Structure 1
Amino acid sequence: MGFFIYYDRWDSEDLHWDYHSIVLSFLKDTDKILDVGTGGGEFVLTLEHPYALTYVTEAYPPNVKICIENIEPLGITVRQVYEDDKLPYENNSFDIIINRYESFDAYEVSHLLKKDCFFPNHTLDNNVR
């Protein structure tokens, strides 16, 4: 669903694309994936990707706690972050980085991605820095 704000009210309409399907079209079983700003990890779990190849970051402390309790025991690597431009991973680490509504630093993302890999992003214009 897309949202539009008009001064004192908002409206929405159905999107004509499906982020989940787009991510799955790029994602291979052997890919190392990073979900930036995972929230509670709900979306990344729907991908049913091998947990040992799945990494997530989250900044909001209550969500970090949820991730540590719910998805880290599955084998997903959870990292708390404090700044968009300092993600705790080495350059060229990921085959795919996904992002839903989280602000991000495009320069940092480009360094973390392996060559010729993908960054399907579902975010609002003002979240890109």
Structure 2
Amino acid sequence: MAERNFFEALAAEYGRSFSGWDFSYVNERMVSDPLPWNYRLVVTDAVSASGSLLDMGTGGGEFLDSLPALPPVTFATEGYAPNVPIAKARLREKNVQVVEIAADDVLPFDDRSFDLAINRHESFAAEEVARVLRPSGRFITQQVGGMNGLDINASLGAPPPGHVGWCLLEAKENLLYAGFKITTCREYIGKTRFYYIYSLVYFLKCIPWQIADFSIDAYFRRRCLLNKEIQARGYRDFILHRFLLVAEK
């Protein structure tokens, strides 16, 4: 009976709605180490000196909407169809045009369209970013590294994610090959702490690329064991992997 109740509680958590790129529901139950840089500050400083901006992978437009001011020409792309109307509604009053895309290696913009491209946790093709940037244009990206949450997969007995090799050096090499000059490159490995197994289930539902076949049934026995460990210790830490790159065309 206890196992059945646990399964039903997991199912209820898994079934909670998620839209845009808003993790506020688990903010107090899932805590990540602060990064040694401030992406928002880096972007805000760059935006103030730019006349045109591209936000790649805007999600529901949450980050772009939070910036104090935007250039007169601002576009955003989003590849996840359910997020597109959310972003359009949120950013409409700021005159941001949100464009749905099918892949990051084809950006639907003319050559030399933007002074600045920003990218938070979205994949990118360095050559395509270079194409849409003007001479001396800048690219700012904060990426989720391939080691991020790797021990989540191991703990549950799941295969590693497909992006496991993604790291600062590979991203830097891609940008250099595309003709960029790297002005900032930083990498950080810390931890994300989960206080409840339910928060981990919700989190994995929201980022399906971490465990491609994740479901309530899949890996249930391992989740039972992990839940006992979290209850005994009060939390469980997993790897946090981020890196920051600022590049100039």
| TM-score, scaled to structure 2 | 0.44
Report the Cα distance in structure 1 between the residues aligned to 2:33 and 2:48, rounded to whole angstroms.
Answer: 31
Runs of 4+ with >4 A deviation:
none
1:117 aligns with 2:141: no
Matched, 1:107 2:127: yes
Cα RMSD for the two superposed structures? 2.1
Distance in 2 of aligned mates of 1:112 and 1:28 = 19
Paired residues for 1:24-103 under 5 Å = 24-28=44-48, 31-50=51-70, 52-103=72-123
CA spacing shift, 1:69–1:94, aligned 2, 3 Å: same
Identity of matched residues, %: 35
Runs of 5+ unmatched residues, structure 2: 1-30, 146-165, 175-249
Answer with 12-21 or 65-74: which moved more. Answer: 65-74
CA contact (8 A) 2:47 2:71 kept: no
Alignment-mate amino acid for residue 98 of structure 1 = I
Displacement of 1:51 in angstroms is 6.4
Secondary structure class of the residue paired with 1:116: strand
Structure 2 residue aligned with 1:8: none
Gaps of 5+ in 1: 1-10
Shift of residue 70 of structure 1? 2.2
Q: How many pairs were matched up?
A: 119
- Give how far 1:119 is off: 0.5
Bigger CA radius of gyration: 2
The amino acid that maps onto 1:91 is D
Aligned 8 A contact 1:99 1:120 in 2: yes
Instruction: Report which of the two has the higher share of helix.
Output: 2
Q: 1:27-53 CA deviation, whole Å, 9 max, x = no partner?
A: 226520000000011101122334642
Q: CA deviation at 1:112?
A: 0.7
Cα drift, residue 68 of structure 1: 2.2
Describe the SS at the equivalent of 2:63.
Answer: helix
Tell me the distance in 2 between the aligned counterparts of 1:101 and 1:79.
Answer: 18
Matched position secondary structure for 2:82: helix
Instruction: Give the letter for the 1:40 counterpart.
Output: G
